[in-house]
């Protein structure tokens, strides 16, 4: 009898060890899903058994019971959360259980880039699959009322950044976040601005920041470019910046700016009109806002592109004309060489 008991006991131990080894392999082995990433949905108020059955139906796991056992052994059953999830190809049952435990639901994301216009921002929202479209019939002025602003012109009032959100979040919710983000950052920057700046209010600083954003090729030049434009404002010199002209041209802009464009008056043409344009011309990033409020102390009134993203700055028109001749000649020569080659 003792031998039989020992034999049965040994069989039980071996069975337990074998099951443990199999179970450990099951928990850690990749599911090798097809395709590379798979979207799944777990219904609200689902228990562990129901979740396992849903995973079988959605071809995530072949059988429900091992997943149910895993959840119970690890005491995860009370904490599993409903929602939409994206699974990578090599997720293991254990990793899947942790995702359901932590509620790591599928998130959408959208990135608004510095220097882009509000029109481009709206277009990107409309094309983002994870975003629920609700504002397609609203004008910019109507949209501004919805986000809680008294401004009628939306340009520049939304902060460019990457925003994460649950899938099917309404576009207006994302816009409100971007708008509120800009208000906070602009107010903070304005409160810590340098002294003796020729702005009436923070909105004018935002306008300048948008111009700096469009004119800057290299980040470190932002304060210098802001300094040049502020020098021009102080002496009543026209800003004469191409990006404002381009913005005023709207859909007429074909990628090239010509002499007649610089001479055609619009409310945004800083060659024909003095002072700042009436609104921002793009979404400025925080670095451009800071530059507009902490400009470089310089005597420069002019700058010209060198062709590599940087600029040559000049204090006088004579120096500027020399720089223009130098770098335009260099760029023309380079273009000619490229054509010959």
On whether both 233 and 206 belong to a single domain, the answer is yes
On whether both 197 and 333 belong to a single domain, the answer is yes
Residue 289 domain flag: yes
Q: Which of 102, 132, 159 is the last residue of a domain?
A: 102
Per-residue pLDDT, 186: 97
Following DSSP, what letter does each residue of 258-299 receive, concatenated?
-HHHHHS--TT-TTTS-S--SS-SS---HHHHHHHHS-----
Burial of 258 (0-12, 13-18, 19+ CB in 10 A): exposed
Per-residue pLDDT, 98: 87
Q: Is 59 helix (H, G, I), strand (E, B) or coil?
A: coil
On whether both 174 and 209 belong to a single domain, the answer is no
Per-residue pLDDT, 2: 66
pLDDT for 17-33, tens place per residue? Answer: 777 888 888 888 888 88
Q: Is 255 helix (H, G, I), strand (E, B) or coil?
A: coil
On whether both 151 and 215 belong to a single domain, the answer is no
On whether both 96 and 215 belong to a single domain, the answer is no
Q: Which of 102, 135, 164 is the last residue of a domain?
A: 102
Residue 4 domain flag: no
Residue 179 domain flag: yes
On whether both 42 and 117 belong to a single domain, the answer is no
Residue 12 domain flag: no
On whether both 336 and 209 belong to a single domain, the answer is yes
Residue 3 domain flag: no
Per-residue pLDDT, 180: 95
Q: Please tell me the pTM assigned to this model.
A: 0.71
Q: Which of 102, 129, 161 is the last residue of a domain?
A: 102
On whether both 112 and 76 belong to a single domain, the answer is no
Determine contact, residues 229/211, Cβ cutoff 8 Å.
yes
Per-residue pLDDT, 12: 75
Rounded Cα distance, 242 and 47, in Å:
62
Domain count within the chain: 3
Per-residue pLDDT, 337: 35
Q: Give me the residues of the chain with pLDDT under 50, please.
A: 333-341
On whether both 294 and 242 belong to a single domain, the answer is yes
Per-residue pLDDT, 21: 84
Determine contact, residues 58/115, Cβ cutoff 8 Å.
no
On whether both 174 and 203 belong to a single domain, the answer is no
Q: Cis ω on the peptide bond leading into residue 35 (within 30° of 0)?
A: yes
pLDDT for 140-175, tens place per residue? Answer: 999 999 999 999 899 999 999 988 787 778 999 999
State the residue range of the domain holding 174. 107-188
pLDDT for 34-73, tens place per residue? Answer: 776 678 888 888 999 999 999 999 999 999 999 999 999 9
On whether both 207 and 296 belong to a single domain, the answer is yes
DSSP state of 192: T
Determine contact, residues 104/127, Cβ cutoff 8 Å.
no
């Amino acid at each position: 009898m003792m031998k039989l008991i020992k034999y049965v006991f040994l069989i039980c131990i071996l069975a337990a060890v074998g099951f443990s080894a199999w179970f450990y392999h099951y928990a850690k082995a990749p599911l090798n899903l097809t395709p590379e990433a798979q979207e799944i949905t777990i219904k609200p108020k689902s228990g562990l058994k129901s979740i396992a059955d849903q995973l079988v139906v959605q071809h995530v796991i072949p059988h429900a019971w091992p997943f149910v056992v895993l959840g119970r052994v690890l005491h995860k059953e009370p904490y599993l959360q409903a929602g939409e999830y994206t699974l990578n190809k090599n997720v293991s049952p254990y990793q899947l259980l942790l995702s359901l435990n932590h509620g790591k639901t599928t998130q959408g994301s959208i990135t608004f880039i510095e220097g882009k216009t509000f029109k481009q921002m709206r277009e990107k929202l409309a094309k983002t699959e994870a975003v629920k479209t609700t504002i397609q019939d609203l004008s910019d002025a109507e949209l501004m009322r919805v986000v809680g602003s008294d401004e009628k012109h939306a340009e520049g009032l939304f902060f460019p950044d990457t925003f994460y959100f649950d899938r099917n979040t309404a576009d207006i919710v994302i816009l409100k976040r971007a708008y509120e983000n800009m208000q906070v950052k602009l107010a903070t920057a304005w409160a810590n601005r340098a002294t003796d700046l020729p702005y009436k209010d923070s909105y004018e600083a935002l306008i300048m920041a948008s111009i700096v954003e469009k004119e800057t090729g290299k980040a470190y030049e932002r304060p210098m470019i802001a300094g040049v434009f502020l020098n021009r404002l102080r002496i009543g010199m026209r800003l004469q910046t191409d990006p404002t002209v381009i913005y005023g041209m709207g859909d007429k802009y074909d990628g090239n700016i010509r002499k007649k464009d610089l001479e055609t008056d619009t409310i945004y043409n800083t060659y024909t009109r003095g002072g700042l344009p009436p609104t921002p011309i793009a979404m400025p990033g925080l670095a451009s806002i800071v530059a507009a409020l902490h400009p470089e102390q310089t005597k420069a009134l002019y700058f010209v592109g060198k062709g590599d993203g940087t600029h040559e700055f000049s204090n006088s028109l004579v120096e500027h004309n020399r720089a223009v001749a130098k770098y335009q000649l260099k760029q023309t020569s380079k273009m000619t060489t490229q054509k010959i080659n």
